[in-house]
Chains A and B, each alone.
Chain A
Amino acid sequence: MKDYIEALITQTSDKAKVLRGKIVGPLKSSEFTGLYSRCERQLDNILERLEYLSNDPDVKAKENNGIRIRLLRRIIRELSVLEWSGIAALNRPNDDDVLLNKILFQIHTEIKYPLNPPTVTCLSQNYYVVHPSIGLLQVPLAESDSFLHLPDLYHELGHPILSAKGNPKSELFQAEFTKFNNKIFTFFLNRRNAISRQTGPRDYHKFQVNILAQSWMKYWSMEFFCDLFATYTLGPAYAWSHWYLTASNDADPYEVKINQVSSHPPDQARMEVILMALDLLGQKTEADKIKKTWDDLLQITGSKPNELYRKACPKDLLELSAVHSMEGVKAIGCRLADDKATGKIHELLNNAWNVFWQDPQKYRSWEKVQLLELRQGYTK
């Protein structure tokens, strides 16, 4: 076993060095320098930890074998993620990546984003994926050729603010997030206690409450906060983007899974918090228009609330998320997307949805012209 661990450490160390060689130089553009430094730093850190596992007499002691292999496996997993994320992005950069990086940089300036913006790559095979530890945002290949999904970039910008560690620029947003999570915790604790006092099948109901509490606290609250961050900083275009994503996806917007923890809240609940946020921003007319179109979509697709939906997504919690998130966005000094908000990308993405609804058939011709102008503007 000891020999096996030693060999695995050597192989992992070799792989880290091979991956370092896969970073193509010189870099395609200055937008990649941040990602390059972060990947290099992570590789250095991985190599240091491997050296420790290989040489430190304490970790090599027989009684620590269990811990040693645990540490090694985590390094192997980390390296594997780095391979298909950051290193792949640096190995295959292209012009579309450069365009999206320029757009994201512009967004970060317009909304007064408190952190460095992540680097964007069009290499995702799984919709939008952000890797806060290396500051990378993966988007699908065709994202640089359409505006209608781009509001999701604002959502992704919310995640690094939630995961930044020890950074005073993001702490106040995190504090609101944690206050909200503490309220979720209390809410489900009270519900569990109420079940204990009831007659009937308590175990099943407690199991259901545990699953919902974990879904909320592990995943949903984060997703709601990022939806709200996007709505507060971009406005109606984010709501439309959520509409679009739901319309093109065949999942039931009211569906709640209670057999296991689920990663995403129901689409209906996400739209509810987005509309609450638009109301809080003073964009009531737009919110009403979006709600009407959303209700039409639900009607056409035959989607109806089920018995579990409101139990899983109580209005009180949704409202609290909208309030806490707004406090957080204000506290870190981001620009709110009220009716006075301006900015090239802000206007472009909101206008894209107006043009789309005016004449969906002609929208694509308008979009192509705008895309060309945008590309030309950035290459000047």
Chain B
Amino acid sequence: MSEIGLNASIYEYLRIYADRIDYALIKIKSSNNQEAENARKDLVELLHEIGANETLKPGVLLLNVILQEELSSWSSTTKEAFQRLAYAMERKTENREDYKNLEEIAAVIDKECLSVSSRMQR
């Protein structure tokens, strides 16, 4: 397969995760209704998936590789940080720093989407 094709496959994985985090962030930050509750549940599920020690989902594994590299400056390991974030969101005890971290995760995935998509252009 050509490089474009490989990147098209990877882009699709990343785009879905990027959208899930962005939509969830908007809903959780802005509303306090059932929609926000559902968005929170979805985000918690995703954070648990990324923070799990083992996964059988190729997309999650790919995301892990990217985030570990890009977030290497974080003080704890990426997996620990994701587990911590997931618990904070689940218990609704998240603080401003947690939101900053979530924004950073969303920005990293978006940056990777951009980089993958620029390799798809002819």
Q: Which of B18, B26, B31, B55 contacts A178 (CB 8 A)?
A: B55
Instruction: Choose among B27, B110, B119 the residue with the greatest number of A CB atoms under 10 Å from its CB.
Output: B110
Q: Collect the chain A residues with CB atoms within 8 Å of residue B58's CB.
A: 162-163, 174, 177-178, 181, 222
Q: Separation in Å of the A30 CB from the closest CB of chain B?
A: 25
Interface check A257, CB cutoff 8 A: no
With the chains together, A203 CA to B56 CA distance in Å? 32
Q: Collect the chain A residues with CB atoms within 8 Å of residue B29's CB.
A: 63-64
Interface check B120, CB cutoff 8 A: yes
Q: Collect the chain B residues with CB atoms within 8 Å of residue A58's CB.
A: 26-27, 30-31
Interface residues of B in 27-44 (CB under 8 A from A): 27, 29-31
The size bracket of the interface on A is 35 or more
With the chains together, A57 CA to B54 CA distance in Å? 39
Q: Separation in Å of the B58 CB from the closest CB of chain A?
A: 6
Residue of A nearest to B35 (CB): A58
Interface check B22, CB cutoff 8 A: yes
Q: Using an 8 Å CB-CB cutoff, how does the interface string of A67-107 with B read, 1 for contact, 0 for none?
A: 10011011001100100100000000000000000000000
With the chains together, A264 CA to B2 CA distance in Å? 9
Interface check B81, CB cutoff 8 A: no
Q: Collect the chain B residues with CB atoms within 8 Å of residue A74's CB.
A: 15, 18-19, 110, 113
Majority SS at the chain A contact face: helix
Q: Separation in Å of the A314 CB from the closest CB of chain B?
A: 18
Given contacts A156-B5, A159-B1, 18 further A-B contacts (CB under 8 A): A58-B26, A61-B30, A70-B22, A71-B19, A74-B19, A77-B113, A78-B15, A130-B9, A131-B5, A138-B5, A152-B1, A155-B1, A163-B13, A165-B16, A185-B65, A210-B69, A218-B65, A219-B10
Interface check B3, CB cutoff 8 A: yes
Q: Collect the chain B residues with CB atoms within 8 Å of residue A70's CB.
A: 18, 22, 106-107, 110
- Between A and B, 17 residue pairs with Cβ closer than 8 Å are A57-B30, A64-B30, A70-B18, A74-B18, A77-B114, A126-B2, A126-B3, A131-B8, A132-B9, A152-B1, A159-B5, A159-B9, A163-B13, A174-B57, A178-B56, A178-B58, A185-B65
With the chains together, A84 CA to B8 CA distance in Å? 12
Q: Collect the chain A residues with CB atoms within 8 Å of residue B26's CB.
A: 56, 58-59, 64, 67
The size bracket of the interface on B is 35 or more
Q: Separation in Å of the B99 CB from the closest CB of chain A?
A: 11
Whether B61 and A181, one on each chain, are in contact in the complex, defined by CB atoms closer than 8 angstroms, is yes
Whether B110 and A128, one on each chain, are in contact in the complex, defined by CB atoms closer than 8 angstroms, is no
Q: Collect the chain B residues with CB atoms within 8 Å of residue A57's CB.
A: 30
Residue of A nearest to B116 (CB): A218
Q: Separation in Å of the A138 CB from the closest CB of chain B?
A: 8
Interface residues of A in 317-343 (CB under 8 A from B): none
Q: Collect the chain B residues with CB atoms within 8 Å of residue A174's CB.
A: 56-58
Q: Collect the chain B residues with CB atoms within 8 Å of residue A213's CB.
A: 65
Q: Collect the chain B residues with CB atoms within 8 Å of residue A127's CB.
A: 1-2
With the chains together, A132 CA to B7 CA distance in Å? 11
Q: Collect the chain A residues with CB atoms within 8 Å of residue B12's CB.
A: 132-133, 163
Q: Which of A84, A156, A217 contacts B65 (CB 8 A)?
A: A217
Q: Separation in Å of the A285 CB from the closest CB of chain B?
A: 29
Q: Using an 8 Å CB-CB cutoff, how does the interface string of B72-103 with A read, 1 for contact, 0 for none?
A: 00000000000000000000000000000001
Q: Which of A159, A178, A223 contacts B57 (CB 8 A)?
A: A178
Q: Collect the chain B residues with CB atoms within 8 Å of residue A138's CB.
A: 5
8 closest cross-chain pairs (CB), A and B: A58-B30, A129-B5, A127-B2, A263-B3, A217-B65, A175-B56, A126-B2, A178-B56
Q: Which of A73, A125, A214 contacts B69 (CB 8 A)?
A: A214
Q: Collect the chain B residues with CB atoms within 8 Å of residue A312's CB.
A: none
Whether A130 and B117, one on each chain, are in contact in the complex, defined by CB atoms closer than 8 angstroms, is no
With the chains together, A185 CA to B11 CA distance in Å? 21
Instruction: Choose among A84, A125, A219, A226 the residue with the greatest number of B CB atoms under 10 Å from its CB.
Output: A219
Whether B4 and A129, one on each chain, are in contact in the complex, defined by CB atoms closer than 8 angstroms, is yes
Interface check A182, CB cutoff 8 A: yes
Q: Using an 8 Å CB-CB cutoff, how does the interface string of A42-76 with B read, 1 for contact, 0 for none?
A: 00000000000000111101011011001101100
Q: Collect the chain B residues with CB atoms within 8 Å of residue A185's CB.
A: 61, 65
Whether A217 and B5, one on each chain, are in contact in the complex, defined by CB atoms closer than 8 angstroms, is no
With the chains together, A35 CA to B75 CA distance in Å? 47
